Structure 1
Amino acid sequence: MRISESLAGFRVRSALLAGCAFALGATPALAQDSDEDTASSAPPRGNVIVVTATKRDQTIQDIPFSINAQTQEDIQRSGSVTLEDLSRNVAGLTIQNLGPGQSQVAVRGVSAGQVVRDQPGVKEQVGVYLDESVISLSLFTPDLDLFDLNRVETLRGPQGTLFGSGSVGGTIRYITNQPTPGIVEGTVEANFNVLESGDIGAHLKGAVNVPLLGDTITARAVGYYTEYAGFIDALGPGGGEDINDGRRYGGRVAVRVDTGEGVSFTPRILYQKVEADGFNRQEIFNLFANPFTTTRPPVQLGEREQYLRLQEAFEDETFLFDIVAEAELGPVTLTSVSTYINRDILVSRDASALTGSVSVDLGYPPVAVLLPSNLRDTTDLETVTQEVRLASNTDGRFQWLVGAFYSEVDRVYTQRLPTPGYAAFTDATLGAGTSAAVANGFPNLDSPFNSDLPYDISQIAVFGEASFEVTDALTITAGGRYYDFEETRTITTGGLFANGDSGVVDETSSDGFTPRLLLSYEVNPNVTVNAQASRGFRLGGVNDPLNVPLCNAQDLALFGGFQDYDDETLWNYELGVKTQGRNFTFNAAGFYNDISNLQVTLDAGSCSSRIVFNVPDAHTMGIEAELGISPAEGLNFNLSGSWIEAEFDTTLPGALAVATGIREGNRLPSVPEFQLSASGSYEWPVSDNADAYFAASFTHVGSRYTQPADQENNPRTFVHGLPFAGAPATASTTVDLLLDDYQLINLSAGIDFDSGLSFVIYANNILDENALLSFDRERGGRARLGYRIGQPRTFGITARQTF
């Protein structure tokens, strides 16, 4: 046996035993319960959260693996408006913010590096669902409005059995409130908020549930409009104050038709559009705004500042239609889920510094270097999915579920770099006719880079899961999924910066089987111990060719040999405990993930390209715990936290290790080692018809790296090497690439009237922490360096009326 294998086994045992010991350490409190409470099988007093993580209704305490559910009340009282906000209250869940509508989700430290807008072939590591419909899309995790949600479920660990590829780390499920027969109800909510920068935001939202035909047909409609306040100021001709403001608007309508004979249909339409006028980027160097220039005024960019020659924008328009049909067929239930999704996404960036840095290298005159250049990335997505499953619906010891899944994804990704006047300077500097010679059929000669990348991805899968109560205390669950993928990608590129690929077709295919085994043992009605072994997978793919004309010789030699990458697989081993007693719950788990062929995303230095390649071995291990307690009437405390060790177990040879950071013992990117959230609230009556409450929360997010290579030669000195506007070729900027930990403190107070009217005032990030969320660089620091940052101190008031 290799030493590494022995150490891996030791780590598995250590993590699981530590998690179990940590969890069981809380159980003596149960001994203080009365004998009557201990003997009773009834649930403890307080809220009982029902989830559908196993595609059947179960309480969260009965789910035989680690899961978190943030309820509608949790969402409202925490003031969360995005999944990133929610993630800070969920142990083991991290979000890497890369700008509006652009984020990466990681669960339990399973993360492979920063995926940016120009990597459409990369698959997600965490699956995202809206109720029964899969809505995942790598990088562009849908930024759905959280209004009128019943809950958000976080399923930790691979969920490949029931949820397929893209759930290698876990699954996130937005669960909406469904049409409810027989009642008329609704909610109207208005908000007004002010940021530390002085910009103002607001929203208006509403939901209504209406029976249309007795208990047979019921409709539920939701509409919302949100105006986001900006907090980034930009210098330059494309700048201004609060340039990253934006808006989100849309709605959904669901209609439930119940025949009264065990058959129901619920069609739904969702439309949403997100718009942002800029990005939450704080720059520390820009080719056009830096302290090194002499023929242009030197500039030192400050906190929450950037430089723009052109205004930027982000748009994401989403249309979804799905229909869920259910039929009770005696002892079984037949469920069909049909989904159609169309998304149109635009990322419009000021690429003037990027294009200008290449122009300096090519010897263009200063007037050409200063040309405004607009990089426009567009994604046109159409997805069709169909799932059919059959499940038992009896109360017997044996429960089972089998199903089949099909999906067809057409994703057309394009890039254009319109730079008016660029062709004339190209021809004057590099020779007459150069722009036309490299165009490769693209008509705009003033666009030095163009690409069309259509993807066609098809998948079929069959899956099943069964559980058997061996005894009243012991339940065994086993399941598996067979999958078959085929992906076809065609690439055509043109322009001075491109390779001139003409309709090059690459195909990727994969099939396999992902099993899962779960053991659940009920120590007593209030304590359950769970163990799990499960496998997850992520489909491989093909890298885009490097932008060879932009690469220096060293980067071309290092990164030029990676054409495709294999499937990523993961084995998850975990041991957990779930406890509940008089007015408290405590859930914890220890886990070890053994990852093979981890798909790591890297910035290919000066090439302005990114590639993915496989790292043979990596692991994550850790402990996650969540405690909820109500020591007195109206008083509630919640504590959640995680410790995660996420590291590479492979060292790449020679210069690749330094260039990529793939070295045994180095951390996986974007994941904090420690994350902690603590919150408390107290509610008390202020009159016969009103209750008031006060709430506070504290969040700690540990230090992280954006990319694996950031931990090599850190702090890093970026030599800009661009003698533009009198800046010396030796000009450099030194940056500590370890993103600092940050702490957020939020406060809120409110009053709820029996009439359904409520008011909440709140202050978020009261210490005005300037949280660094990810590091941003262009052309290896030759064009631009900066950070994505979080929202500053915010004060707001929300009024809500339910009826």
Structure 2
Amino acid sequence: MRKILMTNVRKPLLTASVAAIAMTAMPVYAQTAPAEDISNSGDIIVTAQKRSERLQDTPVPVTALDTTKLADRGLTRLQDYFTEVPGLSLNSQGNGKTNIILRGITTAAFGNPTVAVSIDDVPFGATNATADGQLVQPDLDPSDLERVEVLRGPQGTLYGASSLGGLIKYVTKDPSTESFSGRIQGDVNTVRKGEIGYAGRGAINVPLGDTAAVRASGYTRRSPGYVDNIVSGEKDVNRIDVVGGRVAFLYKPSDVVKVRLAAQHQYTKGDGTARTTTNFSLVPTVGDLEQRYLPDSGMFRTRSTLLTANIDLDFDAVNIHSVTGYGRNRNKERSDFSRSVGEPAAELANDMRTEKFSQELRFSGRPGETIEWMIGGFYTKENSKSLQKIERVTPITGAPVSPALTNIFTADFPTSYEELAAFGALTVNFSPKFNIQGGLRYSGNRQTIFELDSGEFAGTLPGDPAVVTADTAASDNSLTFLVVPQYKFSDDLMVYARVASGYRPGGPNGAIFSDPTLPKSYDADTTMNYEAGIKGSLFDRHFTFDISTYYIDWDKVHLQLVIDGLSIFTNGGKASSQGVEGAFQFRTDSGLTLSANGSYGVAKLEEDPPAAIPADKGTRLPFSPKFSGSISADQEFALNDQWTANIGGTVSHVGQRFGPFRPSTPVNSRLNLPSYTLFDLRLGIKNDDWSIDLYARNVTDKRGVLSAAAEGSQAVTGVFGVNYVQPRTFGISVARNF
């Protein structure tokens, strides 16, 4: 075997390309009001099922986040507000990459995504691990988002691949033909033991007559740094700068035709990782919020461009919906890799690029009929170029040494992924109160990879050639389904049961390994979700609630193998996740709002995994707590005829989690990520035109652990890196509407 001590190198996980067919359920309801009617009712409107409907009527556990409030409170990244969503957890790695986990469905920090992400129904990013599909997330600024919807539980029937655990759905703001309008906002904040951060946002909506409109927005922000590198002497190395914008065009010449075109771009820059240096017990070894890394390590640059076209044709007998997307993403990063390869100074450099096209076409019948239907098709094609290098560098500057000595290892592995799916749905409305939804989706995919390895570690045995190549392919297919009976006691109370499945594509591990016992490919894994939920409101809609309980059966689980530091995948047996989630809100006529959300769940292995995996039946899956949740209280009151004020606070808690699977021996054990509790406060005033908000986050300056990982050796005597939540932060936000 190759002597590559690359515990963190995602060595070409040789993926594949594909084709598919499917049938999916698109639930529709009798007596569902048109979108323009329900949008004026004061209810929360979501598009979780790819149509506008009341959150109260949606038989899916969904959390809809108010993006204006997020921006006003300085909550601009997913890691800032994930505790407001039941069942959502993160493994934020501090270098611009984040694992998103819903209901505990994950087994490693690196792999094919288990949570799908879409922007205006266009799937975002790579589907496979080789292009960092699980790690590179959009983390869009909330300035031009209508809302963020988080769908919990498998969504494979409607949203396809990678939605094993659920979906995060970004919904942008449409242009409006009604009037000229706009908004500008400025934000300044300061973090304890760190620097000053800022944000500036602006948006403008311009009608072009009665049938067309344009909306343009832009933003820039700096998330302040607070971690110091004692090797280079640099302060606040983990600052993040983001610049982005979006232009959208709406054309609606009649009630039949609606065309929405949009282009958006975001550039994210960081010059250092947020990880701090600790021991196995996560106790700092060089000082609070300090790290010991080579200069310039932790640098990352991420560029994301997305073009979308949404076309709706609303005829008397049928609706036609077309969703087209084209995206380009690129992520470059460097990290200190000295301890992993036993060199005085070495860095790992990654350069991952993905180009993705997708097209969905749906036909659906009119709502309100006894039998409602929908059929459609979906196609996507991805091409990714991935390059990894391990280079010797100069300890003082971090610059590469002489060319003859620089290259320790280089892997160049372009990949492709292609998927075709067909889907269909049928809803039978037995009465105005009771209906049953059912649907199927059949998907097929094909993946390819060509790999070229060079450098000192390219060979697997002494005497092997210095350059190794491989050209492999794999394919698989999957059938997902959905059955959902729903009963409405009234417009304000309903119950549902949900049986839904999800899948994640497998792929090839490649043909370059000399060990014939290693798996050359791995199959798709699937989840089956059994769920019951109740949603309602009481006391003249002053009290609302959403409660669900679930059991997820996970089969052919993807598991990561590390062989001589080389990462590949295999299929394990079964795992499960079960729990209960709830969200509650109580509002009084005097302006008091009390909100709470929480989840309690256990995700674990149900069978002993392959012998190479250091875990047993009953072992908890990584990165997810048993309990997490938050409680908020906000009081709004009038200052005069024009101005109102509000004051509030939030307490959020994240329970104990565990790191990746590790052998339990005296010198090598599994990381324990302790629980933490945060306190936030806020105060604001507003009128029709202005809003001014003050906020304090993490008031007690808690060092809550977002993620932790070994730096090289996995032994308990080794060195570890920890990413903490942002220290105590004070900020002010001022916004003007016009």
Instruction: Compute the TM-score of the two structures, normalised by the length of structure 2.
Output: 0.87
Whether the aligned pair in 2 keeps the contact of 1:636 and 1:680 (CA below 8 Å) is yes
Does structure 2 conserve the Cα–Cα contact (< 8 Å) formed by 1:332 and 1:394? no
Q: SS at 1:448's partner residue?
A: strand
Superimposed CA distance per residue, residues 256-282 of structure 1 (whole angstroms, 9 cap, x where no aligned partner): 112225112211111110001111101
- Separation in structure 1 between the aligned mates of residue 287 and residue 412 of structure 2, nearest angstrom: 37
Aligned to 2:495: 529
Taking a change above 3 Å as real, the CA distance of residues 402 and 653 of structure 1, as seen in their structure-2 partners, is closer
Deviation per residue, 1:396-418 (Å, 9 max, x gap) = 23322211110000011101223
Q: How far 1:192 moved relative to its partner?
A: 0.5
Amino acid at match of 1:134: P
Q: Within 5 A, what are the aligned runs for 1:315-330?
A: 315-330=301-316
**SS across alignment from 2:413:** strand
**Alpha-carbon separation, structure 2, partners of 1:408 and 1:44:** 36
Q: Tell me how far 1:796 sits from its aligned partner.
A: 0.4
Does the 8 Å contact 2:188/2:731 carry over to 1? Answer: yes
Give distance in 1, aligned partners of 2:725 and 2:510.
Answer: 31
Residue of structure 2 equivalent to 1:762: 695
Retained in 1: the 8 A contact 2:337–2:712?
no
Query: Cα 1:347–1:148, aligned 2, differ >3 Å: closer, same or farther?
Result: same
Alignment CA distance shift 1:661-1:418 (3 Å): closer
Q: Do structure 1's residue 129 and structure 2's residue 118 form an aligned pair?
A: yes
Tell me what 2:361 maps to. Answer: 388
Alpha-carbon distance in 2 for matches of 1:614, 1:792: 40
Question: Deviation of residue 492 (structure 1)?
Answer: 1.1
Alignment of 1:358-507 (within 5 A): 359=343, 369=344, 372-419=345-392, 446-499=406-459, 500=466, 502-507=468-473
1:109 is aligned to: 104
**1:163 Cα offset (Å):** 0.5
Identify if the C-alpha distance between structure 1 residues 547 and 738 changes in structure 2 by more than 3 Å, giving closer, same or farther.
Answer: farther
Paired residues for 1:200-219 under 5 Å: 200-212=196-208, 214-219=209-214
Alpha-carbon distance between aligned partners in 1 of 2:294 and 2:467, rounded to the nearest angstrom: 30
Indicate conservation of the 8 Å contact 2:661/2:670, yes or no: no
Letter in structure 2 aligned against 1:200: I
Q: 1:457 to 1:477 in 2, by over 3 A?
A: same
Specify the alignment match of 1:740 in structure 2: 674
Change beyond 3 A, Cα 1:523–1:261: closer
Q: Is the CA contact 1:481–1:515 (under 8 Å) kept in the aligned structure 2? A: yes
- Structure 1 vs Structure 2 CA RMSD: 2.5
Equivalent position of 1:199 in the other structure: 195
Amino acid at match of 1:335: H
Q: Secondary structure at the match of 1:197?
A: coil
Contact 2:417 2:446 survives alignment (8 Å): yes
Rounded Cα–Cα distance in structure 2 between residues aligned with 1:455 and 1:592: 35
Shift of 1:376: 1.1
Residue identity in the other structure for 2:507:
G
Q: Are 1:354 and 2:305 matched, yes or no?
A: no
Bigger shift: 775-784 or 323-332?
Answer: 775-784
Task: Please report how far the alpha carbon of residue 310 of structure 1 lies from its aligned counterpart in structure 2 after TM superposition.
Answer: 2.3
Query: Counterparts in 2 of 1:85-100, with a 5 A limit?
Result: 85-100=80-95
**Where do 1:31-46 residues align within 5 Å?**
none
Q: In the alignment, is residue 775 of structure 1 matched against residue 735 of structure 2?
A: no
Letter in 2 for 1:798: S
Q: What secondary structure is seen at the aligned counterpart in 1 of 2:618?
A: coil
CA spacing shift, 1:182–1:534, aligned 2, 3 Å? same
Aligned match of 2:570: 613
Aligned runs of 1:681-700 on 2, under 5 Å?
Answer: 681-700=634-653
Q: Is the 8 A contact 1:239 1:309 kept in 2?
A: no
Instruction: Report the secondary structure of 2:391's partner residue.
Output: coil
Q: Which has the larger radius of gyration?
A: 1
The answer to whether the Cα contact below 8 Å between 2:470 and 2:512 also exists between their aligned partners in 1 is no
Distance 1:397 1:301 in 2: 68
- Look up the SS of the partner of 1:162 in the other structure: helix
Structure 1 equivalent of residue 621 of structure 2 = 668
For residue 86 of structure 1, report the CA deviation from its aligned partner.
2.6
Aligned to 1:277: 271
Partner Cα distance (1:405, 1:564) in 2: 25
> Which has the larger displacement, 214-223 or 45-54?
45-54
What letter is aligned with 1:530?
Y
Q: Check the 8 A contact 2:483/2:498 in 1, yes or no.
A: yes
- Distance in structure 2 (CA, Å) of the matches to 1:746 and 1:46: 31
1:634-653 equivalences in 2 (<5 Å) = 634-652=591-609
Per the alignment, do residues 353 and 409 of structure 1 end up closer, same or farther by CA in structure 2, a change over 3 Å counting? same
Shift of 1:491: 1.3
Answer yes or no: is the 8 Å Cα contact 1:310–1:373 preserved in 2.
no
CA contact (8 A) 2:392 2:405 kept: no
TM-score by length of 1: 0.81
- Tell me the secondary structure at the aligned position of residue 54 of structure 1: coil
Residue identity opposite 2:184 in structure 1: V
Per-residue deviation at 1:343? 1.2
Deviation at 1:338, TM superposition (A): 1.2
Structure 2 Cα separation of the partners of residues 285 and 746 of structure 1: 29
Aligned residue for 1:794? 729
Aligned partner of residue 449 in structure 1, secondary structure: strand
Query: Per-residue CA shift, 1:505-531, capped at 9, x if unaligned?
Result: 121101121011001011233221100
Letter in 1 for 2:706: L
Distance in 2 between the 1:602 and 1:71 partners? 40
- Counterpart-to-counterpart distance in 2, 1:404 and 1:300: 55
Percent identity among equivalent residues? 29
Local SS of the residue matching 1:512: strand
Is structure 2 residue 556 aligned with structure 1 residue 567?
A: no
The Cα offsets for residues 145-181 of structure 1, whole Å up to 9 and x where unpaired, read as 1112111111111111110001111111011111111
Quote the offset at 1:602 in angstroms.
4.8
**3-state DSSP of counterpart to 1:55:** coil
1:462-500 Cα offsets, whole Å, 9 max, x none, are: 112221211222110001111010000111111112335
Q: CA deviation at 1:78?
A: 4.9
Deviations 1:343-396 (A, max 9, x none): 1110111223334x1x4xxxxxxxxx3xx4332100111001111111223432
- Match of residue 151, structure 1, among 136, 147, 153: 147
Deviations 1:682-724 (A, max 9, x none): 00001111000001001000011121227x34xx645xxxxxx
1:156 touches 1:171 (CA, 8 Å); kept in 2? yes
Summarize the Cα distance change of 1:736–1:593 in structure 2 as closer, same or farther, 3 Å threshold.
closer
Instruction: Go from structure 1 to structure 2 and tell me whether the alpha carbon gap of 1:163 and 1:233 turns closer, same or farther (over 3 Å shift).
Output: same
The one-letter code sitting in structure 2 at the alignment partner of 1:801 is R
State yes or no: 1:540 paired with 2:525: no
Paired letter, 2:701? D
Query: 1:504–1:219: structure 2 CA closer, same or farther, 3 Å change rule?
Result: same
Distance, in Å, in 2 between the alignment partners of 1:126 and 1:82 is 17
The runs of 5 or more residues in structure 2 that have no matched partner are 1-36, 126-132, 396-401, 460-465
Preserved CA contact (<8 Å) 1:284 1:785: yes
- Residue 707 of structure 1 is matched in structure 2 by 660
Secondary structure of residue in 1 paired with 2:158 = helix
Match of residue 438 from structure 1: none
Q: Is the 8 A contact 2:711 2:721 kept in 1?
A: no
Structure-2 separation of matches of 1:90 and 1:306:
31
Q: Counterpart in 2 of 1:633?
A: 590
Give me the whole-angstrom Cα distance separating, in 1, the residues matched to 2:511 and 2:470. Answer: 11
The 2-side partners of 1:644 and 1:205 are apart by 38
The alignment partner of 1:503 has SS state of strand
Q: Which amino acid aligns with 2:705?
A: L
Q: Secondary structure at the match of 1:779?
A: coil
Q: How many residues align?
A: 677
Q: Distance in 2 between matches of 1:784 and 1:447?
A: 25
Q: Which has the higher contact order (CA 8 A, sep 6+)?
A: 2
SS in structure 2 at match of 1:707 = coil
Report the Cα offset of residue 45 of structure 1: 12
Aligned twin of 1:16:
none
